[in-house]
Amino acid sequence: MPTELRKNTAPLRSPLSLNEKEVMELLDNKTPAVLADLTDKIAGAYGNQSLKPSDTAASEQIFRLLMRDTEVRVRAMLAQHVKQSTQLPHDLALSMARDVEQVALPILEHSQVLDDQDLLELIQRTKDVSRYLAISKRERVSPAICDSLLAKNSEEVASSLVTNNGADISGEGLSKIVELYPRSEQVMQALSNRPHVPAAIIEKMMDKVSATLAEKLKSKYATSSKAIDAEIDATHESETLKLVEITHEQEDVSNLVSQMQATGRLTPSIILSALCRGHFCFFETSLARLSGIPVSSARSLIHDRGQLGFRAIYNKSGLDEAMFPGVRILLSAVRDLDVQGEKPGSADYVDHLVQHIHELAEGERVNKLSELIALVRQTAQ
């Protein structure tokens, strides 16, 4: 057989199949040039996921040898090759992440072998901003990691996070960024370019940033001040309802209602939303406050089965007269479900409440009933 043909039909060598001479060079002749060449050969195959299963264990042993006893440039080369490998053993990934900068940064930025617990520990054990920056550039950055990075109070890291659309920054985190860096054109510009910024954050930015950037924000979001205000009001109402959920003692409810009235937040919408969620105490206390009578008296009037009492306090409270027939039915429906033992927040509560409202309204012409039902479903979201 011709020599050329024999050469072309020879079996292919595995990327990790070192010959005897190469093994001896790796073990006995650890010169920088030799190590660099061998690292490039082995780690290149490993990083490309081209190793045979039988080679994986051998490659790990060689990696451990290289990590234990080589100069930085060889370890850095190894890190570059394996930074995106999902086969990299967890302990090796952690070892590299704790190494000097040249080795650690590629792993911190790219390795998916590291989980949130690893990253939180790595953030806490260093004051090196370059490591924070590497983590902030990861393809996905969880809210917990974002919060931990923002706690380091680095403008550069904050800018990196808001520039990274894969960073899931919480509303609290975004608010903190606006509070800490309102005069940083770089950070505010990056934040203004970020998709899906909550309206409350936009409002805060407009109040703190330069006039030029504020105008750019208004232009970008193309929203009128009324639209922004409406979304902000909805956000505030949602947060207030969460507070109502955990306020049970009459004194605490009275204090909350008084505070909301003083700040103009005791609106018909939130009073009715609270009733939709079955918060009788808040509903009763609100009507008492608006009517200027004691809560005990308001409670007697509201639950008057003859309905004259509820009509009287409803009119005195100043709530929308056109909504009264619907609110009366809503009150009866919520009260009936409460007697039946159904609790707000359950999976079927809203459907049962809407069904009962329809049953109670059957045969009547009830103004704004559809608006009331829409409010019931909205408060459940």
Under the banding of pLDDT at 50, 70 and 90, the label for residue 48 is: low
Sign of the Cα torsion 304, 305, 311, 314 reads positive
Q: How far apart are CA 193 and CA 216, in angstroms?
A: 10
Percent of the chain residues past pLDDT 90, beyond the cut: 27
Q: Mean pLDDT: which of 8-12, 46-50, 92-96 is highest?
A: 92-96
Q: Are 52 and 13 in contact (CB under 8 A)?
A: no
Tokens linked to 84: 């995106």
C-beta separation of 96 from 80 below 8 A: no
* pLDDT tens track for 122-163: 999 999 999 999 999 999 999 999 999 999 999 999 999 999
Reported as a single tens digit per residue, the pLDDT across 339-372 is 888 887 776 888 888 899 988 888 787 877 888 8
Q: Are 24 and 18 in contact (CB under 8 A)?
A: no
Q: Are the CB atoms for 351 and 305 separated by under 8 Å?
A: no
Give the CA angle between residues 10, 11, 13 to the nearest 5°: 120
Paired tokens of 185: 């054109």
pLDDT at 292: 92
The phi, psi pair for 365, rounded to 5°, reads: -95, 105
Backbone φ, ψ for residue 141 (5° rounding): -125, 115
Question: For residues 77 and 103, is the Cβ–Cβ distance under 8 A?
Answer: no
Question: Could you tell me the two tokens for 126?
Answer: 């260093």
The pLDDT tens digits of the residues spanning 319-341 come to: 888 888 889 999 989 888 888 88
CA distance 176 to 146: 11
CA 307 remoteness from chain centre: 46
Q: 51 or 92: whose pLDDT is higher?
A: 92
Q: How do residues 181-237 score in pLDDT, each as one tens digit?
A: 988 888 888 888 887 777 667 767 766 666 666 666 666 655 545 554 555 455 556
State the first-to-last Cα distance of the chain, in angstroms, to the nearest integer. Answer: 79
Global confidence as pTM? 0.53
- Say what the pLDDT of residue 258 is: 87
